[in-house]
């Protein structure tokens, strides 16, 4: 019997990375593109191209728009956090009963929004350290090998199709603690990325702002504990320092977004952390001040601040 099709919503960096690896392992894959114009643009070319270690391969992956009628049983949501809820809502009428979704979004907030909208579907949250970027449409460069954690806060059993990810060469592990992983990644992001935007610097230059970073880590650890995520707080400051040193030459993803005039995912990272602090009545003045500075900075550049 033919394996069920993976629909991939969002043919950007991560969507292309996943779609190409799944397709070449023999799994049926179909892209869902935002409209007819994007579909025509895609169909005018040979398919999706993935560049790995300087070598390009192109995969003629089928594509459609939301208007297609075929049911969707397995959906990889690979758009940005701020697009996920709206994009999945457009697809909701096509989701089959017991559909399974994998949500690749960074940060927190978008996953709950999608899951709340689809009580019948299974929403699997992912946290990935793989890195890819999109030099142009329909091309992705696999820039950083990493790992993807998958988990479902509502149900601890892994899905039956995980072996397909093994066959596709997608390094992953199922975890019952996906929220802890997502919170930890969010905290690392909050301690590093906003400051790289405000100081307009590479990650390594934050070593010159060690006190400020340490103060933020202390507040973030306090927040994690009050949000029921004490494990995500363990040795946070040490890991932040390690990440800053290990990625010293890199520009953070938020820095790249802002310097290219693109919308950032602040609302699902620092914005989410500050909203959680408010919900828990925690006064975290440095985190709040960081958010105010970042919002003002983004507004000054005419970029969305949510």
> Which residues form the catalytic set?
185
Shortest separation between residue 181's beta carbon and ligand NAP, angstroms: 12
Radius of gyration from C-alpha coordinates of the chain: 19
Report yes or no: 298 and 266 within 8 Å, Cβ to Cβ: yes
> What is the residue whose two structure tokens read 């934050």?
206
Neighbours of 268 (CB within 10 A): 24
- Print the binding letters for residues 132-171 with ligand NAP: x by CB under 6 A, - otherwise: x-x-------------------------------------
Q: Is 106 in the site for ligand NAP (CB under 6 A)?
A: yes
Nearer to ligand NAP, 164 or 267 (CB): 267
Q: Is 79 in the site for ligand NAP (CB under 6 A)?
A: yes
Q: Is 80 in the site for ligand NAP (CB under 6 A)?
A: yes
- Print the binding letters for residues 4-33 with ligand NAP: x by CB under 6 A, - otherwise: -----xxxxxxx----------------xx
Shortest separation between residue 214's beta carbon and ligand NAP, angstroms: 26
Q: Is 265 in the site for ligand NAP (CB under 6 A)?
A: yes
Contact footprint for ligand NAP (CB under 6 A): 9-15, 32-34, 38, 78-81, 83, 87, 104-106, 128, 130-132, 134, 265
């Amino acid at each position: 019997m033919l394996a069920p099709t993976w629909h991939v919503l969002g043919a950007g960096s991560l969507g292309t990375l996943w779609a190409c690896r799944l397709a070449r392992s023999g799994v049926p894959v179909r892209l869902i593109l935002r409209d007819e114009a994007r579909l025509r643009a895609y169909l005018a070319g040979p398919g999706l191209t993935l560049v790995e270690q300087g070598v390009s391969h192109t995969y003629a992956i089928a594509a459609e728009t939301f208007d297609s009628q075929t049911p969707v049983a397995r959906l990889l949501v690979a758009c940005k956090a701020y697009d996920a809820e709206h994009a999945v809502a457009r697809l909701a009428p096509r989701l089959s009963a017991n559909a399974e979704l994998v949500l690749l979004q960074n940060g927190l907030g978008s996953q709950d929004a999608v899951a709340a909208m689809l009580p019948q579907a299974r929403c699997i949250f992912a946290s990935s350290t793989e890195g890819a970027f999109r030099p142009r449409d329909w091309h992705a460069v696999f820039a950083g090998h990493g790992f993807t954690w998958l988990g479902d806060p509502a149900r601890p059993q892994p899905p039956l199709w995980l072996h397909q990810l093994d066959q596709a060469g997608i390094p992953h592990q199922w975890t019952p603690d996906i929220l802890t992983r997502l919170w930890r990644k969010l905290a690392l992001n909050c301690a590093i990325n906003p400051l790289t935007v405000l100081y307009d610097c590479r990650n390594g230059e934050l070593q010159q702002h060690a006190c400020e970073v340490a103060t933020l880590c202390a507040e973030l650890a306090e927040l994690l504990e009050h949000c029921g995520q004490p494990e995500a707080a363990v040795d946070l400051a040490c890991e932040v320092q390690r990440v800053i040193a290990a990625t010293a030459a890199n520009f953070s993803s938020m820095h790249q977004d802002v310097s290219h005039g693109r919308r950032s995912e602040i609302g699902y990272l620092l914005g989410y952390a500050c909203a959680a602090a408010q919900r828990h009545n925690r006064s975290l003045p440095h985190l709040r001040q960081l958010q105010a500075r970042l919002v003002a900075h983004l507004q000054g550049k005419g970029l969305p601040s949510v």
